[in-house]
Amino acid sequence: MSRPAVKPSGVVPPTRAQRPLAGTVTRRRAREAAVERAALAGIGLLALTVGALAGYAISTGARPYATRDVLPAQAGPFAWKTGVAAARPVAPDLDPLTTGSLPERPIAERPVAERPTLPPRPVPAPPSGYVLRQVSGGQALLEGRDGLRQVAVGGVLPGAGRVLTIRDTGAGWVVITTETIIGPALL
């Protein structure tokens, strides 16, 4: 048995027996490269074929053809051309305003029933019996069953309780009491 050659650096290179996978890795990489080259060539050929077909179609232009030239002489006319279409020709609708709408049909006149007139409903009084008429200087002028009444925060309204606040809600002024909210109209 011979000893492997020693390099000047003192490192002994591994032999093929010591590296069993070295050849398989190389063969696998070569196979993968060949498959990639074949796939790339196929894609290039396909692109060339598609380009040539498009060029041919563009350069030759459209040529009208008749199916009669292709069919044998004993072939009769097509069934779909002689049956329905020849039986009832359709007049074209040339009205530009027709957009798939239904044709107008006269509507049968119905007798118009007169609605009974109802008497106007009386406006019910607010639950508290007060309506806000005016606000100025932190005081509110309220109209109730017994006439006008001016109140301030802390005052007592008969039937509505103590006035807690007089405030502007953005939609109008209101008077808030311990029992109800009084506004310019029914709330």
Model pLDDT for residues 152-186, shown as the tens digit of each residue: 998 888 888 899 999 988 888 899 998 888 888 65
Domain extents in the chain: 22-59, 131-182
Model pLDDT for residues 30-81, shown as the tens digit of each residue: 999 999 999 999 999 999 999 998 888 888 766 666 666 666 666 665 555 5
Model pLDDT for residues 86-122, shown as the tens digit of each residue: 556 666 666 555 566 666 666 666 666 676 776 766 5
Task: Output phi, psi for 49, to 5 deg.
Answer: -65, -45
Full DSSP string of 85-107: HHHSPPPP---TT-SSPPPP-PP
Distance CA 29, CA 7 (A): 30
Amino acid at 56: Y
